[in-house]
Structure 1
Amino acid sequence: MKTVFGLNAVRKEFPVTTRMLYLDSAHQTPLALSVRDAVLTFYNEALEMAGPKPIWMRRAEETRVALAEFIGASADEILYTKNTSEGLNIAANALPLKAGDNVLMIEGDHPNNAYAWLNLCRKGVEVRFIKLNGEDSVASAATFAPHIDSRTRAISLSHVTFHAGQRHQIADIGTLCKKHGIYLVIDAMQSIGVLPIDVKELGVSLMAAGCHKGLLVSQGMGFLYVSKEVENLQPAFLAMSGMAHPPADYIATPDDMELRPAAGRFEMGNHNLPNLHALSASLALINKVGVRNIEEHVLLLGDRLLTALDALGVKVIGPRDRQHRAHIYVLDLPVNEWVDYLAQNQVRVSAERGGVRISFAIFNNSIEVDRLVELIKLRLAKEIVAGTPEGDSLLTSIQN
């Protein structure tokens, strides 16, 4: 399989590749050496001088600029958060929704997206779940259009689903939302760092993501994109850092309550500085490789996996069309026994909704795909009754 970038050099950044077959990046990616070093730089500075805070804050803003550029936004449209869930909750509570309004969602999307909106039911907001036609279906404007009425205020869904890997047609949905004056709120947890994202081209109003998957950072760091075109957003929490004119004497009064524009009004003060150092390094690594190259790489690995699984008769849950998938492939195999079997052979995967989830990343290669396929063939051969023509044939193919 032809690689689209210097894969061997990238793999050296990830020591995990020398110890196991890591196919679980839809859950959490391991650290790269350069990312770890960036975090160590921060902690060494903290150890030696209790922190050059002005320098740290300057780096935080430089990282904000880099992250904004990475998704086609401006720096004042980026808010740092702890994770995707926090970002989605900030978004849901900031929109000017009132009793009788409704929000459209996909049935079975990530629960933390759903709960952010279901929490508004206590205010009289209705959440309408739309069912897709199977795990291989993707959402488009046609999915939502029949369900929009005069009280529909927002559509919220994942860009790429965590459980079957569907890549929903966000730009198409964004055009629909613009036509009807509806907010589009996106969970980009599974797509950020894996697929190219331009929030302006997608027509996104707000977009939340964590950084511990495709962005290669440890847990505890996320961001929320807030389009400057979205007006009347009210933060559920308020701090001095969110004020347009914070008091120089640090004495709060009700005289000037003007908020900062866009994402700035949601700022709550000190950031996760260690992980911001990590994010700066990870963005540098991803940009060096190129996110479009990463997309093509994981799709090529998926092509190879799908072809091999078809030959084995192993069904894959989720879409097969390249434009509708990304890096996640769920094998229709008994979860408990197969996850344990793969773990015993130093293969890290996840169990998701009755299937074995394989998720590729920047550091995986075709040899690892072939190794996974051989392990599957071996287990399948053992499951076939010994002495049958099918069993003998499969065992012979493995031995050869």
Structure 2
Amino acid sequence: MISSEKLAYIRDLFPVTKRQLYLDAAHQTPLSLPVRDALISFLTEGYEMAGPKPVWVRRVEDTRATVARFFNASPLEIAFTKNTSEGLNIAANAVPLVAGDNVVLIEGDHPNNAYAWLNLKRKGVKVRFAPLKDNHIATAETFEPHIDEGTKVVTLSHVTFHAGQVHDLASIGELCKRRGIYLVVDAMQSVGVIPLDVKALNISVLAAGTHKGLLVPQGLGVLYVAQGLDELRPAYLAMSSMLNPPADYIAQPDDLAVREDALRFEFGNVNLPDLHALDAAIKLIESVGVAKIHQHVTELGDLLLSKLDALGVAVVGPREHGQRSHIYVLDLPVAQWADYFARNDVRVSPERGGIRISLAMFNNADDIERLVAVIRTGQEENLKLVAIQPD
């Protein structure tokens, strides 16, 4: 677990912890001092040195190698994108699908993953949705009844944004490997919070933005494409995609060979400021360890669940260890409680089933106690309102 001294140090790096009760990491994480300083340093270099692009590009490659370590991947399996949605759309258009092929998703998963594949219906690709009952976790058994000889892709979020389930990628990945199916994973809600080994999980393509568990402002995404999937072709081409980019910057119509690594999906200039920030963020995360972060938010979740039980407040998602991580949706009416939390300077998100509480490395037990006190007061105020209502 994270020691009390280390946790105090981390909290000092996130000034928001001194200003409000921040429980909204599944929406976005606030800036830390190292990330802010990295952005300022980048801007300072830009106006003092007119933009030392070769230096910046070398740093990009250092960050690419660091991201690869996060996933147990090779740097050549990592490309940088704008966000999760762009990565998922790259995957949907790269897989060699033809009319009659089908893709299987989870019913009710994030709509941006669904739309990336539904867009292929115009080409005759069929999209199937596997139902998931009562916010259970998805396993191989969830998908197997919907898979046949025409199934080419299984795709899902690792952690759902709306109830916090941590799906069983291990069994799903084994099923896909056995059946020769691509596994495409949206890791937006898990990267930086849950350890991810793309090789052990048999993931073909993984997409994630960096503004949640990776602590960086919006506008940067990471894309993992497993080595050897040469049949996955980019829908767009730029010089950066080409195997033999022309040194004279004159396109060669007879040479359209693309790179054999993930960088074939990277188009032109990348988000240099955010990549500097990502380097700083990953160093901070690595100073703690993703496994310890996962343990920390899970233990805070244990405390939260016990306190909610005492208050009589139910949660929408799973309660078992291994099936949850840092996202908890409280079964509270959004219309009433969202405004109440905002008035009490508690940062949360309204969600399908109620109010979403999402924890991060900088949260502590005192945050849980403060949240519980706010909820208890809200319950008491609600009871008073009910008591004075006329018959």
What TM-score comes out, normalization by structure 1 length?
Answer: 0.95
- State the alpha-carbon separation in 2 of the partners of residues 204 and 262 from structure 1: 16
Distance 2:70 2:4 in 1: 20
Q: C-alpha displacement at 1:313, in angstroms? A: 0.9
Say whether residues 1:50 and 2:56 are aligned partners.
no
Alignment match, 2:61: 61
| Map 1:260-299 → 2, pairs under 5 A | 260-299=259-298
Matches of residues 1-400 of structure 1 in structure 2 within 5 Å?
Answer: 3=3, 6-135=6-135, 137-385=136-384
Across the aligned residues of Structure 1 and Structure 2, the Cα RMSD in angstroms comes to 1.4
Unpaired runs of at least 5, structure 1: 389-400
TM-score, with normalisation over the residues of structure 2? Answer: 0.97
Measure, in 2, the Cα distance between the counterparts of 1:65 and 1:133.
39
CA distance 1:253–1:295, change in 2 (3 Å):
same
How far is the alpha carbon of 1:229 from its aligned partner?
A: 2.9
Which letter does structure 2 place at the counterpart of 1:10?
Answer: I
Kept in 2: contact 1:5–1:289 (CA 8 A)? no
**Aligned-residue offset at 1:290:** 0.4
Confirm or deny: 8 A CA contact 1:21 1:346 kept in the other structure: yes
How far apart, in 1, do the equivalents of 2:35 and 2:2 lie? 27
Structure 2 spans left out of the alignment, 5+ residues: none
What is the Cα deviation at residue 379 of structure 1? 1.2
Q: Structure 1 CA distance, aligned partners of 2:80 and 2:92?
A: 16
Cα offset, 1:28, TM superposition: 0.5
Alignment partner of 2:11: what SS? helix
Q: Shift of the alpha carbon at 1:257?
A: 1.7
> What is the DSSP-based 3-state SS (H/G/I as helix, E as strand, rest coil) of the residue aligned with 2:379?
helix
Alpha-carbon offset, residue 280 of structure 1: 0.3
- Structure 1 counterpart of 2:76, one-letter code: D
Residue 382 of structure 1, CA deviation: 2.3
* Equivalent residue letter for 2:299: L
- Matched residues in 2 for 1:148 and 1:382: separation? 51
Amino acid at match of 2:118: L
CA distance in 1 between partners of 2:386 and 2:25 (Å):
39
1:288 match: secondary structure: helix
Deviates more, 1:227-236 or 1:57-66: 227-236
Deviations 1:128-174 (A, max 9, x none): 00111112x00000111111111000000000000000000011100
Quick one: which amino acid aligns to residue 295 of structure 1?
H
Aligned-pair distance for 1:18? 0.4
Q: How many residues align?
A: 387
Q: Which amino acid aligns with 2:130?
A: I
The AA in structure 2 aligned to 1:15 is: P
Q: What's the secondary structure of 2:219's corresponding residue?
A: coil
1:337-372, Cα deviation, whole Å (9 max, x unpaired): 211111111100000013000000010000010010
The CA deviation at 1:312 is 1.1
SS in 2 for 1:384: helix
CA distance in 1, matches of 2:53, 2:370: 47
The amino acid of 2:159's aligned partner reads: V
Measured in 2, the distance between the counterparts of 1:257 and 1:26 equals 41
Equivalent AA in structure 2 for residue 272 of structure 1: N
